[in-house]
Amino acid sequence: MAAVEVTVGDLTPFASIAPHKADAMIADAMALAAQIAPCILDEDFAHPAAAKAIIRGAILRWNEAGTGAMQSTTAGPFSATVDTRVTRRGMFWPSEITDLQRLCSSSGGTRAFAVDTVGTTTNHADVCSLNFGASYCSCGADIAGVPLWE
């Protein structure tokens, strides 16, 4: 049994969706979410409520796609068009994809780290590019061991 489960009952407080339609939407959303963040299917997933909230929001947005209207108003030589229709381009927004993947990466496992390859034995001048965040030495200490431009 997967840790993250969305049911029709989770959607009813927010929208009136026919149960058979809601079941199909949930199945689609869960399948796509599992492709993005496979860890949501693990029984020991650490953040099921957060993942459920992200998936539920995407389903509700999908349900509202296509609602709204386009209205044009003309007054003399001027006209204005207001488009309040909601279009659906994909199941999840890029921020939701990042959030789901972040939930997986925070479930344990390894994380990236940094290693100082310049070392601490070299004394760089205050004006060296390394001191300003660059990835190269401009004072010559990496070659000579001491700053050449002091």
The two structure tokens encoding residue 44: 């020991």
Write down the pLDDT at residue 14: 92
**Model confidence over 52-90: pLDDT tens digits?**
999 999 999 888 876 666 778 888 888 888 776 666 667
Residues 30 and 55 grouped into a single domain:
yes
Residue 43 has pLDDT above 90, yes or no: no
Residue 17 belongs to a domain: yes
**Distance (Å) of CA 69 to CA 58, 64, 88:** 21, 12, 15
**30 pLDDT above the threshold of 90:** yes
pLDDT at 118: 58
Give the C-alpha separation, 4 to 56, whole Å. 11
pLDDT of residue 55: 94
Residues 63 and 125 in one domain: no
21 and 86 inside one domain: yes
Residue 149 counted as domain residue: yes
**83-141 confidence digits (pLDDT tens):** 766 666 678 888 999 999 999 886 455 556 666 665 556 677 777 877 777 888 888 77
Number of structural domains in the chain: 2
Q: According to the model, what pLDDT value does residue 121 have?
A: 63
Same domain, 42 and 93: yes
- Residue 78 sits in the same domain as residue 21: yes
- Give the pLDDT score at 110: 58
> Are residues 16 and 70 both part of a single domain?
yes
Looking up tokens 């925070």 gives 106
Residue 120's domain spans which residues?
Answer: 114-150
Q: Please indicate, yes or no, if residue 68 is contained in any of the structural domains.
A: yes
According to DSSP, residue 60 is labeled H
Give the pLDDT confidence score for residue 87 in this predicted structure. Answer: 64
Could you tell me if 141 and 119 are in contact, meaning their C-beta atoms sit under 8 angstroms apart? Answer: no
